[in-house]
Amino acid sequence: EPGSRSSRPQEGAAGAPPYGRAARSSISERMFGGPEEAPEPPAPTKGASPGSRLSNWVRSPRFEGLFASLIVLNILVMAAQVQYIGMEVGFRLEYQGSVRSAEDAWPWAEVAFIVTDWLFLVLFTLEVVLKILVCRLPFFKEAWNWFDLTIVLCGILETSVLGMLPLELGMLRLFRLARLLRILRLIRTQGFDSLYLMATSIKGSLSALLWSTVLMFVVQMLIALLLGTMLESYLLDDTIPEEDRHTLFVYFGTFSKAMLTMFEITLANWIPVCRALTENVSEWYVIFALIHKFIIGFAAVMVVTGVFLQETFKVAATDDTIMIITKQRQVKIHTKKMSVLFKAADEDGNGILDREEFKAMVDDPNVATWLASMGLEVTDADTLFTMVSRESDGRGQITAAELAQGVSRLKGSAKSVDMAAVMHENRQLLEEAQRLQRQVGELKRRCQSRARPGEVLAAAGTPTT
């Protein structure tokens, strides 16, 4: 019989792999120790047309990941271009250390930048063309696709048209800066989940950011006005050395200077400002410096940081895209773990587990502990196998997919939907039992009413005449 013990290849048979419990280590050792076997490459899809394969590839995450990598590479090339321009500017300004022009330092740069610009333009244009060919009309219904198309058109204008048009240098730089917007595409690319979370959290916390800014600005403005008023007499005192007054004027001479100084004390280097106050004006400003640092620099800033963290957790818990990505990642990790477990437990390599192999798997202490750590307590292997294999059409065998699905269904504590399903089934069973009870009672009454009078009296114990 297929799948039975007698039909499995034995160790040492010609062409049979060396499987068997005696020749191999324990299941836990095959799972958690020893060299990892190289995964088999997926079998190529047969019978698919070139157009279908192209459509599947364009819609796959690998396509998005490829062009996300090209975007990062394009940004690095643009950074090199900015470095090249800065070297030329420093040479023309005769800045210290700029002794050679950019062309002398990087003689290959001009040609390389032209080639890479055309290469990236062709690749990103090809991306848009492929998406239009595959998606067709739905391509133009997504805002991100319009964004990609606009960036490609700007690149075409910059590379091929602007050199022939009498436009200002500022317009040319504007088109070049438009290429930087490609980095925004990374937000929607699979594999950059953390970047998407941060961008979505910033978007969701704009309200908190606004009110935090208002609070900090009002508090710092009051303190800046107070210090400006208190230091006005010091700045106008002719008996104080002019150098000391100039030092204080840099920090508190005007309202704008005082505001910048307050935010510098709060978020940046607060020592130079406080030293200038304590050394030139009065040591009593030590109390002001410490109180301001403790209340504004520590407490207020930490409260604002906590608000942003709360908004981040809220977005992560409520955003639909993040929830879908998180669930897909959990399913993928669970499936991978169950595949490793299945491969270690499948001794004969036939792609299925029978009850004996399943019991040998869960009887391993390390495997049982590993399953318990994932929320699946194994107390009865036979019952667990029956519950896992209940969707296998009574074959008494389970595949890797059925193992992953069954363990996922059984692990963890009971959910509300499970309890609701059990209550619904119990309610149906109770209604069915009550209906059967009523039917039995009705049949009993009918039988008694149709019985002969003598039999009824005999059943009642009354003598007949």
Give the model confidence (pLDDT) of 184-206 as tens digits: 666 666 556 677 777 777 777 77
Q: Is the pLDDT of residue 181 over 80?
A: no
Structural Rg of the chain based on CA atoms: 38
Closest-CA residue to 234 (of 284, 299, 167, 198): 284
List C-alpha distances in Å: 425 to 11, 115, 389: 49, 69, 21
Strand partners, 428: none
Closest-CA residue to 349 (of 74, 81, 15): 15
Give the pLDDT confidence of 289-346 residue by residue, as tens digits.
899 888 888 888 888 888 878 877 777 777 777 777 778 888 888 888 888 888 888 8
Q: What pLDDT shows up at residue 225? A: 92
- Gap between the Cα atoms of 388 and 341, Å rounded: 14
- Gap between the Cα atoms of 180 and 173, Å rounded: 11
The amino acid present at 19, given as its one-letter code, is Y
Question: What is the CATH superfamily name and number for domain 321-410?
Answer: EF-hand (1.10.238.10)
Q: pTM score, two decimals?
A: 0.52
- Gap between the Cα atoms of 183 and 177, Å rounded: 11
* C-beta neighbour count of 194 within 10 angstroms: 8
Q: What pLDDT shows up at residue 37? A: 41
- Gap between the Cα atoms of 115 and 297, Å rounded: 50
* C-beta neighbour count of 451 within 10 angstroms: 13
- Gap between the Cα atoms of 341 and 206, Å rounded: 46
Q: What pLDDT shows up at residue 461? A: 55
List the end-to-end C-alpha distance of the chain, in Å, as a whole number: 72
Strand partners, 397: 354
Domain covering 54-190: architecture:
Up-down Bundle (1.20)
CA atoms within 13 A of residue 146's CA, in its CB half-sphere: 6
For residue 359, give both structure tokens. 């019991």
Give the pLDDT confidence of 274-294 residue by residue, as tens digits.
998 998 888 899 998 899 888
Orientation angle between helical segments 301-318 and 320-345, nearest 10 degrees: 70
